[in-house]
Amino acid sequence: MNVLLTGFEPFDKDPLNPSWEVARALDGWQPAVKDGACTVRAVQLPCVFGDAIARLEQAVAQWQPTLVICLGLAGGRTEITPERVAINVDDARIPDNAGRQPVDTAVQAGGPAAYFSTLPIKAMVLALREAGLPAAVSCSAGTYVCNHLFYGLMHRIARDGLCCRGGFLHIPYLPEQAARQLAGAPSMSLTQIVQGLTIGLDAALAHEQDLAIGGGTTH
């Protein structure tokens, strides 16, 4: 059994992207599961509209994962944030790494307005908080490449009848990135985010259904 964990290449002139640093740190990790073995497969995605989804599709075909967790940086956030919903909108504030800057276009022409994550986002947030790590459900993955990828993932799961569950998590800056921003930008250490991902992943594997618990949504 494989879990696909994706991270993005750096973008917006920053030399690193913590989403890839976290994913690659977990490549080959084997979370404990009830039956058989489970292995995390990390794949780096281009921060490019269209190409990110195409590379994800290749990785899904290669690894046949039962769980897909895509990661992205949300600079300025204070917590690890499982995303609740992907919307059918591309609206780029800045050009992507190929110079593409779609404005108010659909991710998927004719597709539904939105898809919900099929990860147990509340259970993941609860597990992270119980471990002492800041976490919250987010209700917007933005309208840039992260939301685009998230929508593309959920659309393919729905369209192709893939029996995997999937979703997206945004993570904060690393301290060295925050240090390059205006004073006051929040951050979390790579060690903490990696630990958070192991906890989130364990929770996702343990909970086929999400927990119906209130609170914990801040974005």
The answer to the question of residue 72 lying near ligand PCA (CB under 6 A) is: yes
**Three-state DSSP class for residue 137:** strand
At a CB cut-off of 8 Å and minimum separation 6, what does 99 contact? none
The answer to the question of residue 145 lying near ligand PCA (CB under 6 A) is: yes
Reply yes or no on whether 146 is catalytic.
Answer: yes
Q: Binding marks (x or -) toward ligand PCA, 154..193, rule CB under 6 A?
A: ----------------------------------------
Task: Provide the Cα torsion 41, 60, 140, 147; round to 10°.
Answer: 110
The answer to the question of residue 73 lying near ligand PCA (CB under 6 A) is: yes
Q: What is the largest CA-CA distance in the chain?
A: 48
At a CB cut-off of 8 Å and minimum separation 6, what does 147 contact? 86, 87, 89, 90, 107, 140, 141, 168
Candidates 71-79, 131-139, 187-195, 202-210; binding stretch for ligand PCA (CB under 6 A): 71-79
Reply yes or no on whether 70 is catalytic.
Answer: no
Reply yes or no on whether 170 is catalytic.
Answer: yes
- Site residues, ligand PCA (CB under 6 A): 8, 11, 17, 19, 47, 72-74, 142, 144-146
